[in-house]
């Protein structure tokens, strides 16, 4: 569908504005699903600092999808060390945490995210990762459908009580 689609591994700190813009779009989508989502203007800079730090310190990989040199989507993940004797699960070793994923609305439904996700997973599977973790909002039906299709299962439900 997009013959010029190209996926590149990027260092977030070197592509700050492109990543900022895409994460802003992701954030607006989260806001549309959950009204307690903070305003991007308030948290954008801090969130960027967080993803940059995770990429540098936790073997993070950010894959950016370009169509004709315009960034149209990204996926970002990093490793979490599960080798800790306080864990309650059987798994020990590195887990991949998929932290962010978005494709611009006008480029959706053409397989871009499927490709980004497959490449991200394979990168860490090649390094020996056998557990992949991710969160999504309870009402993000599209993402849940995608995850079920890609072999993920629900393990926990997070309940919250908001007192205001």
Ligand X SMILES: CC(C)(COP(=O)(O)OP(=O)(O)OC[C@H]1O[C@@H](n2cnc3c(N)ncnc32)[C@H](O)[C@@H]1OP(=O)(O)O)[C@@H](O)C(=O)NCCC(=O)NCCS
- The CB-of-88 to ligand X minimum distance in angstroms stands at 24
Choose between 12 and 103: whose C-beta lies nearer to ligand X.
103
Choose between 58 and 140: whose C-beta lies nearer to ligand X.
140
- The CB-of-23 to ligand X minimum distance in angstroms stands at 10
**Cβ pair 53, 1 in contact under 8 A:** no
Q: What angle do CA 115, 117, 120 make, to 5 degrees?
A: 110
Choose between 7 and 13: whose C-beta lies nearer to ligand X.
7
CA distance to 1, 51, 126, per residue, from 77 (Å):
26, 9, 15
- Closest by CA to 65, choosing from 118, 115, 134, is 115
Classify residue 60 as left (phi > 0), alpha (psi -120 to 50) or beta: beta
Choose between 16 and 34: whose C-beta lies nearer to ligand X.
34
Q: Which residues bind ligand X (CB under 6 A)?
A: 1, 26, 29, 101-103, 108-114, 136, 140, 142-143, 145-146, 149
Instruction: Give the number of other CB atoms < 10 A from CB of residue 30.
Output: 17
- The CB-of-10 to ligand X minimum distance in angstroms stands at 17
- The CB-of-101 to ligand X minimum distance in angstroms stands at 5
């Amino acid at each position: 569908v997009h013959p010029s689609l190209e996926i590149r591994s990027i260092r977030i700190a070197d592509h700050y504005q492109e990543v900022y813009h895409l994460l802003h779009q992701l954030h607006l989508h989260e806001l549309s699903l959950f009204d307690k989502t903070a305003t991007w203007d308030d948290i954008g800079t801090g969130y960027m600092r967080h993803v940059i730090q995770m990429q540098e310190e936790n073997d993070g990989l950010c894959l950016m999808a370009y169509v004709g040199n315009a960034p149209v989507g990204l996926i970002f993940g990093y490793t979490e060390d599960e080798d800790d004797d306080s864990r309650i699960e059987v798994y020990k070793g590195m887990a991949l945490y998929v932290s962010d994923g978005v494709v611009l609305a006008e480029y959706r439904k053409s397989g871009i995210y499927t490709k980004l996700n497959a490449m991200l997973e394979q990168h860490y599977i090649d390094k020996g990762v056998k557990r992949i973790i991710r969160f999504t909002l309870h009402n993000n039906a599209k993402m849940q459908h995608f995850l079920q299709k890609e072999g993920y299962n629900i393990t926990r439900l997070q309940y919250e009580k908001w007192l205001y």
